[in-house]
Structure 1
Amino acid sequence: MQIGHISLANNLFAAPMAGVTDRPFRQLCKRLGAGYAVSEMVTSRRDLWQSLKTTRRANHEGEVAPIAVQIAGTEPQMMAEAAAYNIDRGAQIIDINMGCPAKKVCTKWAGSALMQDEPLATAIIDAVVAACAPRNVPVTLKMRTGWCQAERNAVRLARAAESAGIAMVTVHGRTREQGYGGHAEYDTIAAVKAALNIPVVANGDIDSPEKAREVLAATHADAVMVGRAAQGRPWIFREIAHFLETGEHLPAPEVLQAKQWLLEHLHEHYALYGEYTGVRTARKHIGWAVRALPGGVDFRAVMNTLETCDSQVRAVSDWFDQLADTHHRLPAIRVAANDDLIEQQA
């Protein structure tokens, strides 16, 4: 699998998710089988580049290559400058966000709202590609099937993107109007794949190895991108990889192995965010990890009262040790895609 001149370990991708796919989470996904992981979206507004949120999102210290950064905005020149800003900070691939359905993004005509204005969308693509080409940095595009059911223009916009020099297109199989409701459809992704010569990635509702195989077969896509299903279950990538290669399922992770992965993730998380913010933002990751496990709901309630990194780590360690007394491996329980802990995917 290639994105421009960059080779990937496999065709299993972690989706960019606001508030989720920070550097520690991307690193975890890569350690557990993802061949590629895209950052949370970084604003194109220069006045926000020095904000704490943006500096954290642009921090790639120790990150395993390739480093892919998603940028969002509405002005071609600002988007070009944002691409250069992130390349200077280590980005090796730039992804343009035309897929986020969040109201706070779309009301500013960014994200999937850009699919309503194809000339502007194309101008942004042209500007970003022009900024990245001299530095040999591939540019990719993430979008939806269209703005609404009556306006599914993914094929037309994807063709324009390929002509402008985009190296890969990812399509989430929903319109902006759908948000994350209903079910993803894959016919549009298949049509995009049939229309292009560059790699196409299928995204939407991929929550199991069987689903990944089904979507690859239905769309003929070059890769699949997993978002919400990786929250609390980052080992889904190695599960999919094993199943696609052998047709067999990996055993569920051992409880103590899952504990070790989570603790390693927490230490990296605290190092990035510091004590106060780190404890609070780690709660959702811990909650996702335990939500479907025996006693997980009660443990989440306790976790939300803890105020220090040390107390959080001790509580997680003790809880998993207790679970290991009765379970050698994690119980095989799948969480519904509409679980109330799931956040928005860009």
Structure 2
Amino acid sequence: MRRWPYTFLVILSVAVGITAIIASQRLGVPLRDPDGFLGPAYVRLPLIGLLFFAAGIIPQAIRRGGLRGSLKSARTIVREEWTWLRVVNIAVGLVSFYVCYVSYRNLKSFLPLIRDDVLYDHDLLQLDHFLMFGNNPAPLLHDWLGTDIAAQILATSYLAYLPLIPLTLGLVLTWSRNASLGAWYATALSLNWVLGTVSYYLIPTLGPAFFQPSMFSALADSGVSALQTSLFKNGVTFIEDPTGDDIYGIAGFASLHVSVVVTACLFFERTGQRAMIRIAGWSFLFITVLATVYFGWHYIVDDVAGAIIGWAAVSIGAWATGNRGRRKRRLAEDTQPATSESEAEDAVPSVT
């Protein structure tokens, strides 16, 4: 199965896509494109692919031939390094990731229709209270960090997650000449959506901000507060009419913000990225964890579960793509421009 490193990801995306379609049919609720405001997927995906294609060629072309000779260098790079197999692998990685993401968003939206019997917010709120020695963690952070400037900083960081994750995927897919590395990262990220969906159904919660909003009333208005308001309004509208245009997006356990960032950090560590990249990744994870509790997106156990999902996604992805036990090497070794096909093959690190 692992002779082609994308085999597992393709099977996973087909399976979760079929699951979303079956659930949609049985519930009588149409599937929706969660990011449809950016245009239809058949337009958006090719544009994203072309953007990453350009990002993978233009810097190399300028480095090789300067501004004047960049066009000629770009043609040489495409001829020597961009085989049809490489293009197909990148397309499969992007499409499979997108299928898993859209399926996850729709299955998450079906949550109040399928698991409407119980919520575990009260139990997890009590657990937070116990873990913090009789205190709720969010008010403690509000007292320590303040509710104005800190809210704006943490909100900016929290919302930066939305474009950063697909951006890192695109960069890994296009800049690495080793197909198994791109497949590993795409598979690991996609597994987050699948495992996260399972966690939503196992322990349905709303999250502190939606279960006990009074704890967060002192926070300054920010991009996060606007997002929470939008999610609440859309959630109410969806429950009133599931066949309408809105999608339900409220779920606490587990934190996929944390799980996906943990996945990125562990992938950077296991592929031996430069210290600056690894430090930036772990720093962003620390700020993300703070933000999830500060704004009431998640309980403490949500973040712990998210970290476990992130670790599991990287480990399963490594096994599924033939990278289990792989020695640490910098991904940069795979992204150096090669002058010939044989040189490109030599630059690909060994997989054990």
- By the TM > 0.5 criterion, same fold? no
Shorter-chain TM band: under 0.3
The answer to which structure has the higher helix fraction is 2
Normalising by structure 1, we get a TM-score of 0.22
Higher alpha-carbon Rg: 2
Structure scoring higher RCO (CA < 8 A, sep ≥ 6) equals: 2
